[in-house]
Amino acid sequence: MRLLSTKATCNSHGQDSSYFLGWQEYEKNPYDEVHNPKGIIQMGLAENQLSFDLLESWLAKNPDVAGFKRDGKSIFRELALFQDYHGLPSFKKALVDFMSEIRGNKVTFDPNYIVLTAGATSANETLMFCLAEQGEAFLLPTPYYPGFDRDLKWRTGAEIVPIQCTSSNNFQITEAALQQAYEDAGKRNLRVKGVLVTNPSNPLGTTMSRSELNLLVDFIKDKNDMHLISDEIYSGTVFTSPSFVSVMEILKERNDVAEGIQNRVHVVYSLSKDLGLPGFRVGAIYSENVEVVAAATKMSSFGLVSSQTQYLLSAMLGDKKFRRNYMAENQRRLKRRQRMLVSGLKKGGISCLESNAGLFCWVDMRHLLHSKTFEAEMELWKKIVYRVGLNISPGSSCHCPEPGWFRVCFANMSEDTLGLAMKRLRTFVSEYCSTSTSTPTTSNTNSNTNALFGSKRNSLTKWVFRLSSREQQER
């Protein structure tokens, strides 16, 4: 007799991805300027820690809100007892106003169509439960956020079919790639229920063009039973041109209302990236499909946002002057930090995909590979983790079809730490390039690496190579 359920014992969560493995290695040996200066610097975590001082300053100036008071009187009991999963009306109103402002007030959002969730993870999974049956598929452009393998598939039973995007056009979605993905799903006997994109993109750090967005809307328009999910949790991080264009703006410009296209387009949002509050677990689904809203609202009871959190953030986001100043200053800081990373990499002979948003860069290290293989990518990644002491995310964990790309985060550390990371990497590249000519074969490279890492890490090396092979098969 089985002691645990199939779900509890299955291995489809994605936790064994090299993306999460890097985190585990960092946690064993985390960098600390004083206590562990030779430790691993975490550059695989897309956290926005650049503007906490602005948030803390607002809290200091609004002690009643932070103390759960209204007009000087405690409302702690009121908030502690409130548990309506529809959410606080004041917070939903403040949230949709904030979302509109991020989009230049070119579109508006109706708070009646907002469903609050415990972060974007919960929002995306809830939409999968609402839109797809077990075994049905969504198309996702590559490279994509590694957590989607968990968020979209693990509990829902839905499948992901990649839309293969390449560096030849800066990883933009093409009609040919979209159609090929649809045909690939058919060969696997999978019914496609829609397309999910991140805009701005994680891991590319780029915004989608109007032509790409119109292509996607046209695609689902032609297929009467398809949906489009636009995960826009990085929408407030756009720090330079081109500006962010929401799928909602595209819908407003088109004349498809009579055909009900707006009922098949859904937006996911969160305050984890723009405000840097992942620990607050505040996410949202915006959909003008009343059936989706009704079903998602019922499901949200499994992952509510606390009333205390809603009260605090309704006041903060309701402060129009604060939120405008915050967004402008946060974007300025992101731009400065991104340029610091790009400049530091360039000094080491490493280039990046040109980006304008997000908390990371998509870094091109193909010239550092001994061969154009994912095995070579994993070998380089291990050297960067262990020899250089930087945890970055290999492109294979993001299902990139080309080996040699890496996601490198820049907003979760101080400028001094980022400077140290760049110094470490430049030193490594200089030494690596000077010795690479003496290790022309994969077998020699493996021997040198094993000697470098030691017996304790050999078991991990073998495990990662097995993982790399499995990741390629999944693509």
Catalytic residue among 149, 151, 231, 274: 231
* Rounded Cα gap, residues 190 and 109, in angstroms: 34
- 273 annotated active-site: yes
Instruction: Give the C-alpha separation, 211 to 173, whole Å.
Output: 9
Does 145 qualify as catalytic in the annotation? yes
Domain 6-46+326-474 class, CATH top level: alpha beta
pLDDT at 246: 97
336-362 burial: b if 16+ Cβ within 10 Å, else e: ebbeebbebbeebebebbebbbbbbbb
Each domain of the chain, given as residue ranges in start order, spans 6-46+326-474, 65-318
What pLDDT was estimated at residue 436? 62
Q: Active-site residue among 173, 233, 350, 384?
A: 233
Cβ–Cβ < 8 Å for 378, 18: yes
Residue 11 has what pLDDT?
A: 67
pLDDT in tens, 45-96: 999 999 999 999 999 999 999 889 898 899 888 888 877 778 889 999 999 9
252 is catalytic: no
pLDDT at 125: 96
Say whether 343 sits in a helix, a strand or coil.
helix
Which portions of the chain are predicted below pLDDT 70?
1, 11-18, 257-258, 436-475
Q: For the segment 265-291, what is each residue's pLDDT rounded down to a tens digit?
A: 999 999 999 999 998 999 999 999 999
Which two tokens mark 470? 């499995």
Which residue bears the tokens 């490198």? Answer: 408
Is 231 part of the annotated catalytic residue set?
yes
Domain 65-318: give its CATH code. 3.40.640.10
End-to-end CA distance of the chain: 35
Query: Are β-strands 265-270 and 283-287 bridged in parallel, bridged antiparallel, or unpaired?
Result: antiparallel
The residue from 92, 193, 273, 383 that is catalytic is: 273
Q: What is the Cβ-side half-sphere exposure of residue 115, based on CA atoms within 13 angstroms?
A: 31
The catalytically annotated residue of 19, 26, 144, 145 is 145
pTM listed for this prediction:
0.88
Torsion of CA 62, 66, 69, 70, to 10 degrees: 40
